[in-house]
A and B are shown apart, each in its own frame.
Chain A
Amino acid sequence: QKEVEQDPGPLSVPEGAIVSLNCTYSNSAFQYFMWYRQYSRKGPELLMYTYSSGNKEDGRFTAQVDKSSKYISLFIRDSQPSDSATYLCAMGRDGANSKLTFGKGITLSVRP
């Protein structure tokens, strides 16, 4: 079993829909959680960063972390065709072993 599991895709929604993307993890040592967006043939772009349980909102994006359930989510409101991309969850902990552990990614397509 991988340390980070991400819901499989692909996912296709109509423009304006609310999108929910989810990841679960097994390592309770993870201290911080991030969501990256990756367009085709581009590098991952940092979207959201959180380090505590609860919700964090930034425009149309909300990141949710539940450390007790080892579950994180990204919600996208009023989805736009420009949101079409691959979304990666990532998590890590501080120290010499400071690598990020990523989910597999889910490809989202928002239909006009």
Chain B
Amino acid sequence: GAGVSQSPRYKVAKRGQDVALRCDPISGHVSLFWYQQALGQGPEFLTYFQNEAQLDKSGLPSDRFFAERPEGSVSTLKIQRTQQEDSAVYLCASSSLPRTGRKAFFGQGTRLTVV
């Protein structure tokens, strides 16, 4: 595709509900990142994939957060038993280069609101 695509754009979840956020990276991009952006803050790293391998998940805030990229293209970020503090914009980025964030291109993000 022309750019990184994320869906849904907006998600409202009741506290305790599970959610799944989807990212379609730029075709052929080997590196894929997930970031969390709280209101008025810069994005914070969550996890990194090189193709289907999750090389770094050090930024995932708890074991309620889980990400996968089974075929090395589309990725899903899953949040179980959502809490109010999970409300944020979740951004996906991809890069054609391996093991680097150089020239990473971002999607529009998914705005998650937990009520």
Report which A residues bind B (CB closer than 8 A): 4, 6, 32, 34, 36, 41-46, 49, 51, 88, 90, 92, 94-105
Cβ contacts A to B, 12 pairs, < 8 Å: A32-B101, A44-B43, A46-B105, A92-B102, A94-B100, A95-B99, A96-B99, A97-B58, A100-B35, A101-B45, A104-B40, A104-B42
Q: Tell whether, in the assembled complex, residue A98 and residue B48 are in contact, meaning their CB atoms are under 8 Å apart.
A: yes
B interface residues, Cβ below 8 angstroms from A: 4, 6, 31, 33, 35, 40-45, 48, 55-56, 58-59, 91, 93, 99-109, 111
- CB pair B106–A102 under 8 Å, yes or no, is no
Q: How far is the CA of A97 from the CA of B43 in the complex (A)?
A: 16
Q: Which residues of chain A are within 8 angstroms of B42 by Cβ–Cβ distance?
A: 4, 6, 88, 90, 102-105
Identify which of A43, A51, A90 gathers the most chain B CB atoms within 10 Å of its CB: A43
